[in-house]
A and B are shown apart, each in its own frame.
Chain A
């Protein structure tokens, strides 16, 4: 007979789930509104989502204050873990989502935004990502991962183009495989340590001095594949360009930022203790994966004819660059990861929004894809301001100072230097030089070629005031990043250091 369990509600720390619950409540609220009255305008749903996300962000920041005072908080039978990493990544997730959701306010009508379910799914997805980063428990991470992914597949498919269906199905099948890998990896860890909590696993492995190293390696292979898929590391990246091409530019931009930061946090929690315990094999594999991801995707990006596909490969390359932080594993490197991603989200938000505002409904004859380079030819002559904006985001992506990403880049390379990875630092620097070529290619088309008349009417066709505001925010964030770097660095270092990473 089972002994009665008595647990006081206070010891559960239910509040640790507050941020996610707010997002879920928002999703349910949207569904309820739809039940009451149909056919409401999308602007209502955008604003409702924004309000709930604002509450969500407030809750996360509140935890930030608690963390700085009392340290990490565990809750819900130690399933939830609110430490510095989870707070930082939740801030990026929620704030990033808040910047992306207004992109639904296009001046042209798009199929998916007429469904309130779109916004409900969006909020569910955010809750999923938040669960993912706010836990130490492989099962809860898995649940969060799947909640978020399933919502994301649907969001892609809602775009209602044949390519979108292709993208969603492709992403789903590959994602299912990755989910399987994740489950297998966790299972093996459970089998050899008897726990699904990462800190317990680390303790158990350290205690028996890695006698089961063979099994550990197999588990790591599975988990690396699963997380590599989420982060689109080479060779698990093959879905990325197709999915980006199939989704709307707004969603593609979102996918390049928010799901990945969740992935990085999982990778940090899972792999860094292994790297630090001197699992040489993992160091080698990570080293190779980082270098290959950066370099190969850069080379693929060189030959793309479509700007969105180019940005897809570029985001793979950036993910590889940042993955180096997991390999280096110092506090400085982990700080660099969050700094880089915060700056990257502003720049990429701008870049994808610029594509989104020139989205056309139908391709013109002879046009191979949505955003071929030719579409932007001579943009400086027809719309100088738009051309300067795109150029700004491209230069930032290329790491030209003093724009946003440059600061992330030097801090990351600096952490490689101080972590003793000299060759890696050089490879990272040289990759930036390769990458400059394909970003410049778009600038060359915009500034040095003659405009093509058929495309002209599509420029900024989608732009509404809210989209322009978002682009303005992205531009300001990119140009004046230099003044934000110091406060960001201080806060991030504080959070990362106090979480023990």
Chain B
């Protein structure tokens, strides 16, 4: 069973979803929680089996699908994908457990379980086409969740979300076909296996074009600055569960794909595009923070702040050294926990008041003290207070980029600190002062179901903020392998110099010690 654990993890939710059609609609939620809990424990079991000291792929499975065209079912994980997979299972569980939706719950649960399959599939696929299959397939459940359970503009929002990402990923698909063709030219065989592609050294000129093709697919998903316009609509219209999954997991597909595809496949192009992308990332941090400050809707504040932090992740990735990439992979987890929790919290107040406008709130701290406390902790985590989960990731990401450029990092770091303003001001508007609205006086504090979802998130946010080592060690080991691969493949002098040579420096250290 152990050697097939990844396939089980991927297809168990889908199978359960199919069987879920039979379950009576009143019991659907309990069924969903059971399935998601089993899945979560399976993912924890995966973690316990994972060997943190190995840097390569583990639990690999291979089965030919279309061997004439080099497509095979190839899955495997390393430290980078392991924790995002656990996070996906975790958030599906929490999302279903804290579900307050009353309309057609059974359909929603089945959709969520399908979505879980696609998420875990994306993060464990090592064949480009299998990756693409799950990547595209994840759009459909999300389309349905936004479109069927969303707000008044839900259809527009869901279609926009779908078409935007679909267009980007089609360009990426052409890029993948080109990669496979280059591989065919080099070896005489078609292959879409990522591990095979890693061994290809492409001419710099081709790398540029392919990097651009992949960039469209990934950047729209993240979403990076000029391509981010679908996200506020999607978040604004999506039901709570949709926003939670979207922010916590789906956006990470883009950043994960940068680490998995762009960097190791096109090291020279990545270095060449380092500063343009860093500029985009910084613009993304600053601009969306400013937009967030101007929002009146608390969910939009959270949405824009979530985009803003995605910018830091991008910055860390394109630092292209171990600290930066490790930090950004850790920040993906942290951002998932924090922004997922914030969307859940917004959902709590929305369920009570059916509005998300901050002007409708005020003084909630006195009416709902427990709610205000949890919101406060999560907000502090979001702005990167030391000893919370985000701090570790942001610090490492910035540290990584500091090695590439001092000035850029300074701007980005300042922007993050200033970014605290909008969160604090939103918190002030909603929670402090006197209770001005009559409706707010008798609001009930968070109940048991909601606590069930929120407390684990608070625990994780503080635990990993204080002691991140269990995650950092495996991530670090796998990132080192990628950075070394990039250095070995790099052709231009600039790339050789920008991407550190770990083997050599480690060798240097050991020789020094020998002396």
Residues on A close to B: CB < 8 A?
380, 395, 400-402, 406-407, 410-411, 413-414, 417-418, 422, 425-426, 429-430, 432-433, 436-437, 440, 443-444, 447-448, 482-483, 485-486, 489-490, 493
A400 and B181 within 8 A (CB) = no
Given contacts A444-B158, A489-B68, A493-B68, 14 further A-B contacts (CB under 8 A): A380-B107, A400-B140, A401-B137, A410-B173, A414-B180, A417-B177, A422-B178, A433-B166, A436-B166, A440-B159, A440-B162, A444-B147, A444-B155, A448-B148
26 pairs of residues in contact across A and B, judged by CB atoms under 8 Å: A400-B139, A401-B132, A401-B133, A410-B129, A410-B173, A414-B69, A414-B177, A414-B181, A417-B181, A418-B184, A422-B178, A429-B171, A430-B167, A430-B170, A433-B166, A433-B167, A437-B159, A440-B143, A443-B143, A444-B155, A447-B147, A448-B158, A486-B66, A489-B66, A489-B69, A490-B68
State in angstroms the CA–CA spacing of A425 and B177 once bound together. Answer: 10
Contact with A along B249-280 (1 / 0, CB 8 A): 00000000000000000000000000000000
Residues on B close to A: CB < 8 A?
64-69, 107, 129, 132-133, 136-137, 139-140, 143-144, 147-148, 154-155, 158-159, 162-163, 166-167, 170-171, 173-174, 177-178, 180-181, 184
State in angstroms the CA–CA spacing of A432 and B107 once bound together. Answer: 28
State in angstroms the CA–CA spacing of A406 and B65 once bound together. Answer: 14
Q: Name the B residues within 8 Å of A432 (CB-CB).
A: 170
State in angstroms the CA–CA spacing of A410 and B180 once bound together. Answer: 11
State in angstroms the CA–CA spacing of A103 and B40 once bound together. Answer: 47
Tell whether A426 pairs with B166 under 8 Å between CB atoms, given A440-B159, A486-B66, A489-B66.
Answer: no
State in angstroms the CA–CA spacing of A432 and B167 once bound together. Answer: 8
State in angstroms the CA–CA spacing of A419 and B352 once bound together. Answer: 60
Partner of A395, one of B69, B133, B140: B140
Nearest Cβ in chain B — how far from A87, in angstroms?
Answer: 19
Partner of B155, one of A407, A448, A490: A448
B170 and A433 within 8 A (CB) = yes
B136 and A401 within 8 A (CB) = yes
B162 and A436 within 8 A (CB) = yes
Q: Name the B residues within 8 Å of A443 (CB-CB).
A: 143
Partner of A486, one of B65, B136, B144, B173: B65
Of all A-B residue pairs in the complex, the 9 with the closest CB atoms, nearest first, are A401-B133, A429-B170, A433-B167, A448-B147, A489-B68, A414-B177, A486-B66, A417-B177, A485-B66
State in angstroms the CA–CA spacing of A407 and B70 once bound together. Answer: 13
Tell whether A413 pairs with B173 under 8 Å between CB atoms, given A401-B132, A447-B147, A447-B148.
Answer: yes
Name the CB-closest residue of A to B178.
Answer: A417
Name the CB-closest residue of B to A431.
Answer: B170
Nearest Cβ in chain A — how far from B237, in angstroms?
Answer: 11
State in angstroms the CA–CA spacing of A410 and B220 once bound together. Answer: 21
Q: Which of B69, B140, B155 counts the most chain A CB atoms within 10 A?
A: B69
Tell whether A429 pairs with B69 under 8 Å between CB atoms, given A400-B140, A402-B137, A410-B129.
Answer: no
B177 and A410 within 8 A (CB) = yes
Q: Name the A residues within 8 Å of B67 (CB-CB).
A: 486
Name the CB-closest residue of A to B213.
Answer: A426
State in angstroms the CA–CA spacing of A485 and B154 once bound together. Answer: 37
State in angstroms the CA–CA spacing of A489 and B154 once bound together. Answer: 41
Name the CB-closest residue of B to A489.
Answer: B68
State in angstroms the CA–CA spacing of A232 and B370 once bound together. Answer: 67
Partner of A447, one of B69, B144, B170, B177: B144
Q: Name the B residues within 8 Å of A490 (CB-CB).
A: 68
Q: Name the A residues within 8 Å of B69 (CB-CB).
A: 410-411, 414, 485-486, 489
State in angstroms the CA–CA spacing of A310 and B147 once bound together. Answer: 22
Partner of A413, one of B65, B136, B174: B174
Q: Name the A residues within 8 Å of B177 (CB-CB).
A: 410, 413-414, 417, 425
Name the CB-closest residue of A to B184.
Answer: A418
Q: Name the A residues within 8 Å of B154 (CB-CB).
A: 448
State in angstroms the CA–CA spacing of A418 and B177 once bound together. Answer: 9
Nearest Cβ in chain A — how far from B29, in angstroms?
Answer: 19
State in angstroms the CA–CA spacing of A168 and B203 once bound together. Answer: 57
B66 and A407 within 8 A (CB) = yes
Q: Name the B residues within 8 Å of A429 (CB-CB).
A: 170-171, 173-174
Nearest Cβ in chain B — how far from A475, in angstroms?
Answer: 14
B155 and A418 within 8 A (CB) = no
State in angstroms the CA–CA spacing of A483 and B63 once bound together. Answer: 12
Name the CB-closest residue of B to A487.
Answer: B68
State in angstroms the CA–CA spacing of A300 and B192 once bound together. Answer: 35
State in angstroms the CA–CA spacing of A436 and B140 once bound together. Answer: 12
Nearest Cβ in chain A — how far from B292, in angstroms?
Answer: 29
Name the CB-closest residue of A to B134.
Answer: A401
State in angstroms the CA–CA spacing of A162 and B492 once bound together. Answer: 71
State in angstroms the CA–CA spacing of A444 and B68 once bound together. Answer: 37
Nearest Cβ in chain B — how far from A428, in angstroms?
Answer: 8
Q: Which of B64, B68, B137, B167 counts the most chain A CB atoms within 10 A?
A: B68
Q: Name the B residues within 8 Å of A418 (CB-CB).
A: 181, 184
Nearest Cβ in chain A — how far from B136, in angstroms?
Answer: 5
Name the CB-closest residue of B to A335.
Answer: B68
Tell whether A436 pairs with B173 under 8 Å between CB atoms, given A418-B181, A448-B154.
Answer: no
Nearest Cβ in chain A — how far from B114, in angstroms?
Answer: 12
Nearest Cβ in chain A — how far from B101, in angstroms?
Answer: 15
State in angstroms the CA–CA spacing of A486 and B67 once bound together. Answer: 6
B64 and A486 within 8 A (CB) = yes
Q: Name the A residues within 8 Å of B143 (CB-CB).
A: 440, 443
State in angstroms the CA–CA spacing of A485 and B66 once bound together. Answer: 6
Q: Name the A residues within 8 Å of B136 (CB-CB).
A: 400-401
State in angstroms the CA–CA spacing of A410 and B133 once bound together. Answer: 11
Q: Name the A residues within 8 Å of B107 (CB-CB).
A: 380
Name the CB-closest residue of A to B107.
Answer: A380
State in angstroms the CA–CA spacing of A440 and B143 once bound together. Answer: 10
Nearest Cβ in chain B — how far from A220, in angstroms?
Answer: 30
State in angstroms the CA–CA spacing of A36 and B129 once bound together. Answer: 58
